[in-house]
Amino acid sequence: MSSLFTAEGLAGLLFLFIVAVTLIGGIIATNSVRLPRAVSGLAMCLIGVAGLYYFLNSPFLAAMEMLIYVGAVCVTIVFAIMLADPGAEKRSGRQTALSGVLSFGVAGILVWGLVLLATSTMWPAVPVKVNDGSVTAIGHALLTTYSMVFELISVVLLLAIIGALVLARIGRDKA
Amino acid sequence: MNLFNLHNSLESYLVVAALLFGLGIYGLLNRRTLIGLLISSELLLSGASLNFMAFSRFLAPDPTTGQIFTLFIMGIAAAEAAIALSIIIAVYRNYQSIDTEDVAELQG
């Protein structure tokens, strides 16, 4: 057992903390009755995921996660909650308790299978890396190997903007 | 198994990603409002992205591949959230509710 008070030990402690933040945020996001609280849980969970990306040698992706998910998607969801004003989630359905148990069972079986698969597989040895995965390497790959996908996703985003504007106008007065 | 060396093993990331995916499935089946469903689907997508990132860090010869996949997943998720939220607002304008049980005109 390595000592806690080395750089490695502190990094391991930080990793456990980040994993706890991610999972607690996910539990808040899926279980809270009030939607603003669920969005806060989602933001907490995504901040944890950004920390995990940092541990996976990708500070660029961690920054993008903070910008796009925590900064843009969560704020957009908060705006939609303000516009739609749902209040507390209604719990009047007849089989809510049963549906909770059933969905927990389905998710539990799925997680059990995935964890079993992840821990029992013999993963191949670490291959020789062809580059260091830095931001420079990502930029080169985006504009050479993946340039077609890069162009296509900009078209997708443009269509999403136009589609969102058109959809949100439906049913509004022409005033 | 050393508790403070978990961040250097592939399996711990895969387990966290599986738990995120399971939370997303649970929320997707259990939630009753459309915005709750959208939040759960974001959890599903981040579980999948975490898997991509872990495999790219530990197993792929080219570590940029998984990062670029995750970037594209983020872009698609942002587009999906924008479209879904505008649909939700249109539904709210027509039904005065975003509860999944109220939006049942085609149920027959």
Tens of pLDDT, residues A42-57: 999 999 999 999 999 8
Decide if A141 and B99 are in contact by the 8 Å CB cutoff.
Answer: no
- Asked if residue A90 belongs to a domain, the reply is no
- Is A157 contained in some domain? yes
**Does residue A152 form part of some domain?**
yes
Tell me what the mean pLDDT of segment B27-31 comes to: 89
Are A80 and A1 members of one domain?
yes
Q: A9 and A77: one domain?
A: yes
For chain A, the average pLDDT equals: 86
Higher pLDDT, B22 or B92: B22
What confidence score (pLDDT) does residue A94 get?
A: 56
Angstroms from A175 CA to nearest CA on chain B: 16
Q: Which residues does residue B33 pair with via DSSP β-bridges, in sequence order?
A: B99
CATH number at residue A8: 1.20.120.1200
Map A89-100 to HEC letters.
CCCCCCCHHHHH
- Interface contact B77-A23, CB threshold 8 A: no
Range of the domain at A148: 134-175
Tokens for A18?
A: 């980040």
Distance from CA of A13 to the nearest CA of B (A): 6
Is residue A151 a part of any domain in this protein?
Answer: yes
Chosen from A111, A131, A134, A135 to mutate, greatest number of chain B CBs within 10 A: A111
> Residue B72: which of B94, B105, B45 has the closest Cα?
B45
Residues (pLDDT < 70) of chain A are 1-3, 86-95, 171-175
Selection from A147, A68, A62, A42 nearest residue B42 by Cα? A42
Specify whether the CB–CB gap between A41 and A25 falls below 8 A.
Answer: yes
Q: Would you identify the CATH topology of the domain B3-106? A: Helix Hairpins (1.10.287)
Domain boundary, last residue among A84, A102, A117: A84
Q: How far is B106 from chain A, CA to nearest CA, in Å? A: 19
Across the range B35-50, mean pLDDT stands at: 93
- The number of distinct structural domains making up chain A is 2
Examine the domain organization and report whether A8 and A74 are in the same domain: yes
Higher pLDDT, A66 or B1: A66
Q: Which residues of A52-79 are buried (b: 16+ CB within 10 A; e: fewer)?
A: bbbbbbbebbbebbbebbbeebbebbbe
Contacts of B49 in chain A (CB under 8 A): 49
Q: Which of B2, B10, B35, B50 to mutate to probe the A interface, most A CBs <10 Å?
A: B35
Considering only CB atoms, B11 lies closest to which of A119, A146, A172, namely A119
How many Cβ atoms are within 10 Å of B68's Cβ, its own excluded?
21
Assigned domain for A114 exists: no
pLDDT the model gives residue B104: 78
Per-residue pLDDT at B51: 93
* pLDDT score, position B102: 79
pLDDT (tens digit per residue) in B51-107:
999 999 888 888 888 999 999 999 999 999 999 999 888 888 888 888 877 777 777
Give yes or no: residues A12 and A79 share one domain.
yes
Does the pLDDT value for residue B33 go beyond 80? yes
In chain B, domain spans? 3-106
| pLDDT-derived band at B31, boundaries 50, 70, 90 | confident
